[in-house]
Structure 1
Amino acid sequence: MFIVDAWKGSKPLWTVFWLYGVLPSTIATGIFLWLVSQGAPGSGLRQLLLAAFAPYTIWVLVAIWRAAAHAPDPLMGGMARGLTVAWAINATMLVVFAEMDFPI
């Protein structure tokens, strides 16, 4: 099962980073920003997205971190880990500010 394999670091870094990380989070961010632009600050869909975003983010960040350890190029693994730290900080700020109804 891809969820468990990715969590264990068994999937290739490019797959976890681009297909499980960047693509879904870009789509979710687009939906979230669209909801904000529609003036739906407390909408059920927006709250559902935020509730799903937290466990997804934890899963994908752990998966990327673990996959980076097995990257064929150590430089790419290091870059992925650095971006993972930045991603974690950004995701935390997004959730906190969104819940405060801070203008994003």
Structure 2
Amino acid sequence: MPTTLHEDSEHFRSVAPYFYDAWYGQLPLWQVFWPFCIVLNVLLAGGDWLVRNTAFSVPSWDTLLLTCLITTLWWTIATWRMSIYTGHRMWSAAARLVTLAAFLDFGFRIFIRIKFPRIFFDCQGMFFDYSSCF
């Protein structure tokens, strides 16, 4: 007899089968690894570009970073679950290494945000959001 949790899970699978199948490792590795890797890097590079051109405020960058971090957690779990089913162990190890490198990148970004906000965010040019630089 199906439980409420099982029914909720089946409802989610009918609404978003790609995310469900990816979460449970039922897709080929490349179908989850490459799209999320490309989208993540484009978002982070775009956010950095907007910050360098003072078109993005400090709280906006923080929000983008948090959103990308949460998405990267999902991406990492899905990648690790699917990587055991690849034909070559090299691709499995490479995919896992890239997901770990993404967290190292987030660590550097958080370090820059905490230790060097006035340099990275060009706080001299920000009048409306100067208090966020401290």
* TM-score, L = length of structure 2: 0.64
Higher relative contact order (CA 8 A, sep 6+): 1
How many residues end up aligned between the 2 structures?
102
Whether 2:33 is the aligned partner of 1:17: answer yes
Paired position in structure 2 for 1:28: 43
Q: CA RMSD in A?
A: 2.1
Give structure 2 stretches of 5+ with no counterpart.
Answer: 1-16, 122-134
Shift of the 51–82 alpha-carbon distance from structure 1 to 2, 3 Å rule, reads closer
- For 1:85, the equivalent position in structure 2 comes to 100
CA distance in 2, matches of 1:30, 1:5: 28
Opposite residue 103 of structure 1, the aligned amino acid is F
- Paired residues for 1:33-52 under 5 Å: 33-39=48-54, 40-42=56-58, 44-52=59-67
Q: Whose radius of gyration is greater, 1 or 2?
A: 2
Pick closer, same or farther for the CA change 1:99–1:5 going to 2, 3 Å: farther
Cα offset, 1:61, TM superposition: 1.0
8 Å Cα contact 2:52-2:120 kept in structure 1:
no
Aligned mates of 2:76, 2:22 — CA distance in 1 = 10
Alignment check: 8 A CA contact 1:68 1:80 kept? yes
Gaps of 5+ in 1: none
SS of aligned partner of 1:9: coil
Q: Deviations over 1:5-26 (max 9, x none)?
A: 2121112111111112x21112
